[in-house]
Amino acid sequence: MMSGPMLTTYSMWSLFRNCRKACDWRYLHELVPLERDHNLSFGSLIHECLEIWHRDRELKRVLDHIDRACPNQAQDERELRDWHLATAMMKGYAARYPTEEFEVVALEKTFKGKIVNPATGASSRSFVLAGKVDGIVQIGDEFFLLEHKTASQIDADYLERLWTDFQIILYAWYVERTLGLRIAGILYNILVKARLQQGRGETEAEFEERRRRLAAKSKTGKSSAKRKLPESDEAFQERLAAKYAEPGMFHRETLYISRDQFAALQAELWELTQAFLDARRRGVFYRNTAFCFHYHRPCAYFPLCRSGGSPNVIENLYHKVPPHEELRDGGGEPPQANCARRANACCGRHNPPRQAGTGGEPQDCLCGSHIEEAPAF
């Protein structure tokens, strides 16, 4: 039976370029880890909130959405943390941008187009490329892609790295082709995740220990210290609100796209399609083990690769999810149920950028000369 060309996304090609095996696990075996990556889910929630905000500009709707997305906050600490952060972030965002310099043309816009061999102009018969952009906006008489990002911090590296965000540049080309709008560049809308923690207070034992230490230092041998109580939700929201009033917590960066970048990316994409066809024909998707810890945490398929593809690992730690969920429309389901950023655990694009000091740096020498050796085995 003839089937049509395979639907692909840049996430897939990016993964194929980074590690063919990861691409095989995700896009041919359709496996994703059973457990959801929390970092990805917070980013998704903020994307959903921004979509609602830019569509309706009603903060109440956004806050209602956050409430619905965190139904177990009373019992679940992580949900409560997400709720606090998302609420404060979106309140801060609404206060920071009460009016916009741009007009929204489209939000969460999907597109689908041919993949073209730049040397001959012929279209691929095996693949088409589809994608979804966060938004298209108009500033003056120019159109920009709107791209939302949540970051742990914005530093020079972070901003410079935006130039290497090839996916969005490629998507700009497809948006031009399929929607007939000339895209001048990308407007990056970056929201910083505050690192504040809600004060959890002291246990009775912790308080007694602190009071004992203070008393020991005091001349009178006594201490008037009071037990630190847990910070209330209201007090924590106030602290977060003050943080989000700081200028560095939101940032907009506009990048203009040069036309030669389009050509280079077209050529690169074509090369990837040829390499993929070859890998699929021969059934060889080799592993790029240099990529396993690329984001300073194990790749989502690490347990699977380490076990040599053990069926026990597949059956207990992964499940099948059709690829490219990001392309589906809402279809009446709550947005988080459809969000591909939650499903594509290995998607290079939405992994959080590296944070300063979170890994990789060499530690103190682990010199073993003084170490008692255990029996050899």
Which of 55, 61, 72, 163 forms a contact with other proteins (CB under 8 A)?
72
Query: Which DSSP state fits 73?
Result: T
21 lies in the binding site for ligand SF4 (CB under 6 A): yes
Which of 187, 299, 339, 345 forms a contact with ligand SF4 (CB under 6 A)?
299
Query: Residue 317 binds which entry of other proteins, ligand SF4, none, with Cβ cut-offs from 5 to 8 Å by kind?
Result: other proteins
369 lies in the binding site for other proteins (CB under 8 A): no
The string of DSSP letters for 208-240 reads HHHHHHHHHHSTTS-----PPPPPPHHHHHHHH
Q: In this complex, which beta carbon is closest to ligand SF4, that of residue 20 or of residue 47?
A: 20
Residues 6 or more apart whose Cβ sits within 8 Å of residue 264: none
| Cβ-contact 24, 315 below 8 angstroms | no
Residues 6 or more apart whose Cβ sits within 8 Å of residue 297: 359
**Residue type at 172?**
A
**Interface region with other proteins, contact rule CB under 8 A, candidates 95-103, 104-112, 193-201, 352-360:** 352-360
What CA–CA distance (Å, rounded) separates 339 from 34?
A: 15
Distances 314 to 24, 34, 287, 293, 307 between C-alpha atoms, Å:
14, 10, 17, 20, 10
| Closest CB 347 distance from ligand SF4, rounded Å | 12
**Residue type at 81?**
R
Q: In this complex, which beta carbon is closest to ligand SF4, that of residue 19 or of residue 88?
A: 19
Query: Which DSSP state fits 162?
Result: G
Query: Residue 321 binds which entry of other proteins, ligand SF4, none, with Cβ cut-offs from 5 to 8 Å by kind?
Result: other proteins
Binding mask 183-222 for ligand SF4 (x = CB under 6 A): ----------------------------------------
| Cβ-contact 254, 186 below 8 angstroms | yes
| Cβ-contact 40, 345 below 8 angstroms | yes
What CA–CA distance (Å, rounded) separates 377 from 373?
A: 11
376 lies in the binding site for other proteins (CB under 8 A): yes
Q: In this complex, which beta carbon is closest to other proteins, that of residue 285 or of residue 318?
A: 318
| Closest CB 363 distance from ligand SF4, rounded Å | 23
| Closest CB 316 distance from ligand SF4, rounded Å | 17
315 lies in the binding site for other proteins (CB under 8 A): yes
| Cβ-contact 24, 280 below 8 angstroms | no
What CA–CA distance (Å, rounded) separates 244 from 30?
A: 40
Query: Residue 361 binds which entry of ligand SF4, other proteins, none, with Cβ cut-offs from 5 to 8 Å by kind?
Result: other proteins
Which of 72, 153, 197, 289 forms a contact with ligand SF4 (CB under 6 A)?
289
| Closest CB 30 distance from other proteins, rounded Å | 14
Helix or strand or coil: residue 273? Answer: helix
Which of 301, 323, 341, 343 forms a contact with ligand SF4 (CB under 6 A)?
301
Q: What residues make contact with other proteins under the rule CB under 8 A? A: 32, 34-36, 38, 72, 303-304, 306-308, 310-313, 315-317, 319, 321, 337, 342-343, 358-361, 363, 366, 368, 371-372, 374-377
Q: What residues make contact with ligand SF4 under the rule CB under 6 A? A: 19, 21-22, 25, 287-289, 291-292, 299, 301-302, 305
